[in-house]
Amino acid sequence: MIPFACPACRAPATLRPERAGPLGVSAIAALVLLAVWFTFTTELKAERVHACELFLWSGPQGSPRGGSIRHVDPDDATASSKAVVVGPVCLAHTAQLLPLDCHGRLVGAKRPDEQAEQVLDNLDTVLGQVRSGFDDLVKLNLYVVNHEAAAALTRAMARRFPKSARPALSFVTTRLPHRDALLALDAVAVTPLTPDPKNLLRKRGWYGPGGCASVGLLPDGARLYVAGQAESGDLPTATRKTLESLKKTLVHLRLTTASVVQVKAFLQPMSDVAVVEKEVEVFFGKGKVPPLVLVEWKSSEKTPIEIELIAHAGRSYFSAPDVVDYLTPPGMTTSPLFSRVARVHYGPSIYVSGLYAGKAIGAKDEVESIFAALKPILEKAGSDLKHLVKATYYVSTEEASKALNDVRPKFYDPKRPPAASKAMVAGVVRPGRALTMDLIAVPTLRVPNSPPEIGYGLTEKEAAEGWLSLFDGSTPFGWKGASVEGNLLRGPGTTRAEFGNCAVRAELVRGGTITTGGKEVKVEPGPFTLAQTGMRGSIRLGDGVAVSKLLIRPLGMRAIFNGRDMTGWKRIDRASLSVERRPVWKVEAGKLVATGGPGALEYAKEPFGDLVLQVDVRTRGRHANSGVFFRSIPGDFMNGYEAQVYNRCLDGDPSRPAVWCTGGIDDRQNARRMISRDFRTFRMTVVAHGPHLATWVNGYQVTDWTDTRTKDANPRKGLRTEAGTIQLQAHDPGTDVEFSAILVSELKGSEKGK
């Protein structure tokens, strides 16, 4: 007889060679090989089959984490970090895992060390379902009945976790859903899976609350943290009503229950947990219950349960004014202490370990001590108190609960408190402490600390006057055929854009010929100037010509905004918007100002086709969104080509412009760099001839695009070359932008300088 124990649940099994027939052990070996093959082919389907079913188990093949996890102040003694920064990446949220085997039987009754091993075995198995493992852990929420159980879990984690696994940890003392369980946990981990948004659950599971999925997948993108909601009634009634209330919140946010990836319930008494499990299964439907976490709290008989949830909220929304919005659904009151909903639009998450006060002090000092410790942790993680998105406060005394309410307003922005739940529990594990805080944050919105940039070879004054650099100092961007060697632009080469009458300046290292306005000019090494080209056309460098700088200034520009009033301009509003929600357009101190939105202002006096358009713009709010439309359908709501106004980049890096950054051609080609900055006036230039469009910001070329689509009267749908109107955009309620100059020149076959 060959003894065998399933490593996931430790259930005993045997292989008996004496009953294997004439092939004996060889047959057993063949069966094992068959099991290996079956396991491998099953894993290719991204679901690892449980060990008991195959008599064989193998760990996850490699770690999906890549560089997506950063540990803040890791500690080998506790196998934890003060905080973990993760993503943007898909995250797996597990159910509350108990020390049960795969048949639902408790392992290690009254033996915390054995239960700790079993829970970690179960965690390893559940993570394997989503091709994850201990290396990929981000956060562990640990539930224990006493200090001995907490110590057993800490020892087991320190021994079993690899040194690369230092997740954030939070402990709370509570009774558990299984009466003989001494400890339990739920986890957040990185997974390489890209789930179907309509199917976020992995339903295999034997180790947690009855009927729920073992894992819920939170895809990279927008996510929702809903604060605990509670309705009155006996336990079944309150559970049912609270779930319906949460559903209303989801519907308001245009989501369904299928978006939920984890549910956490605070209930009393835990002995009636089956009532809650039944109501949750009825609400979500059999086989559709998200991972469930259950904590016993102390509350009034009128509100025996409070439920919070995490949900997937769709694709990342990089154009949002901030990383996170704090929302109050209809019918709910706004509080300066907590938000009802925190909606994160994009980017990484920060998980903070449960915090405790450093000394045995009074309740108020205990709370203030925790917040004082929190600030530097958030700073190291790239966040602050204005970017906390979820808080779970565990308190074990009324004094701590009251002190928390009194102290929070000193630290929170009343418009930006995190979504939160506060639970009175049996204890917070640490002796002499009555409060711990379990927190999730997001990185602050980083902005460049550098000033606005300008085109290569220009001064700030020249950029403000409308000069354009045709060479960026390092690449042939905007050119056909030209090359760059040793910071010199070398011919032969021709600009992709055509220009009207313009002045030209250059610094030549090697002479030859330059063609401008259809005329070929012989040039010598040294400075070169041309007062005007006189004709429309591209600029060509002859064979062998090398320039270190090449600058032009469009001539013949005329103002279509008079600086006094909106003569020649008319509003285009959405009929579906009430008057109070429409943008405000007004002239202030010689500037045309747009606030609010959405809406547009159109120059209705004449249309323009091939053109040079220069606009001086200043955004008056952080990441204010606007734009300049050209070749638009007259009188139609923003149906034209759009040059974006949106000064935003990723992680404060101008070389990583956000979609769609200033100068980008909306929905067509993004700006290659963020040149302008909020609160500073910049000049944006658009050059359009035939199907070719190009834009400059402060004289630096940011786009070079040719529209190869089929012709269509609506440039949103296809190529439009015929004349259309110029429109200014007020994008959304956060728009706050001023236009101080709007200059245009039509590109004609021949023109004189002015």
492-539 pLDDT, tens digit per residue, is: 999 999 999 999 999 999 999 999 988 899 999 999 999 999 889 999
For residue 204, what pLDDT band results from cuts at 50, 70 and 90?
low
Which domains, ranges and CATH numbers included, belong to the chain?
2-54 (no CATH), 69-441 (3.30.1330.40), 460-554 (2.60.120), 558-746 (2.60.120.560)
Considering only CA atoms, which of 357, 343, 374 is closest in space to residue 430? 357
Model confidence at 37: pLDDT above 50: no
Considering only CA atoms, which of 265, 108, 95, 103 is closest in space to residue 181? 108
Mean pLDDT along residues 155-176 = 94
Residue 241: burial class (beta carbons within 10 Å; 0-12, 13-18, 19+): middle
Q: What is d(CA 57, CA 633) in angstroms, rounded to the nearest whole number?
A: 64
Percent of the chain with pLDDT over 90: 78
For residue 359, what pLDDT band results from cuts at 50, 70 and 90?
confident
Model confidence at 13: pLDDT above 50: no
The H or E element that residue 247 is part of is helix 235-252
Model confidence at 39: pLDDT above 50: no
Mean pLDDT along residues 526-553 = 95
Residue 365: burial class (beta carbons within 10 Å; 0-12, 13-18, 19+): middle
Model confidence at 649: pLDDT above 50: yes
Evaluate whether 236 touches 283 at the Cβ level (below 8 Å). Answer: no
Q: Is this model's pTM higher than 0.75 or not?
A: no
Model confidence at 44: pLDDT above 60: no
Model confidence at 45: pLDDT above 70: no
Mean pLDDT along residues 131-140 = 95
Sign of CA dihedral 282, 287, 290, 295: positive
Q: Which residues contact 399 (CB under 8 A, 6 or more apart)?
A: 362, 363, 434
What the block records as the tokens of 306 is 């409070």
Q: Let me know how long the chain is.
A: 754
By DSSP bridging, strand 260-267 and strand 292-296 are parallel
Model confidence at 692: pLDDT above 80: yes
Average pLDDT for the chain: 88
| Terminal-residue alpha carbon distance, the chain | 101
By DSSP bridging, strand 388-395 and strand 419-424 are parallel
For residue 628, what pLDDT band results from cuts at 50, 70 and 90?
very high
Q: What is d(CA 262, CA 631) in angstroms, rounded to the nearest whole number?
A: 49
For residue 291, what pLDDT band results from cuts at 50, 70 and 90?
very high
Tell me which of 55 and 480 has the higher pLDDT.
480
Percent of the chain with pLDDT over 70: 90
Q: What confidence score (pLDDT) does residue 203 get?
A: 76
Q: What is d(CA 706, CA 719) in angstroms, rounded to the nearest whole number?
A: 9
For 150, what's the count of Cα atoms within 13 Å in the CB-facing half-sphere? 19
Evaluate whether 736 touches 624 at the Cβ level (below 8 Å). Answer: yes
Evaluate the omega torsion of the peptide bond into residue 236 and state whether it is cis, within 30 degrees of 0: no
3-state SS of 311-377 is: EECCCCCCCCCCCEEEECCCCCCCCCCCECEEEECCCCEEEEEEECCCCCCCHHHHHHHHHHHHHHH
Mean pLDDT along residues 680-694 = 98
What the block records as the tokens of 72 is 């803040």
For residue 718, what pLDDT band results from cuts at 50, 70 and 90?
very high
| Angle, alpha carbons 377-383-387 (nearest 5°) | 120
Model confidence at 49: pLDDT above 70: no
Model confidence at 66: pLDDT above 80: no
For residue 361, what pLDDT band results from cuts at 50, 70 and 90?
confident
Evaluate whether 167 touches 83 at the Cβ level (below 8 Å). Answer: no
Per mean pLDDT, which range of 21-25, 341-345, 566-570, 672-676 is the poorest? 21-25
Evaluate whether 366 touches 400 at the Cβ level (below 8 Å). Answer: yes
Model confidence at 81: pLDDT above 60: yes
For residue 313, what pLDDT band results from cuts at 50, 70 and 90?
very high
Read off the pLDDT of residues 239-277 as tens digits, 9 standing for 90 and up. Answer: 999 999 999 999 999 999 999 999 999 999 999 999 999
Tell me which of 19 and 84 has the higher pLDDT.
84
Evaluate whether 599 touches 730 at the Cβ level (below 8 Å). Answer: yes
Mean pLDDT along residues 42-71 = 41
Model confidence at 53: pLDDT above 60: no
Residue 179 CA, distance from chain mean position: 40
Q: What confidence score (pLDDT) does residue 661 get?
A: 94
Q: What confidence score (pLDDT) does residue 749 get?
A: 59
Q: What confidence score (pLDDT) does residue 360 get?
A: 63
Q: 3-state class of 38 per DSSP?
A: helix
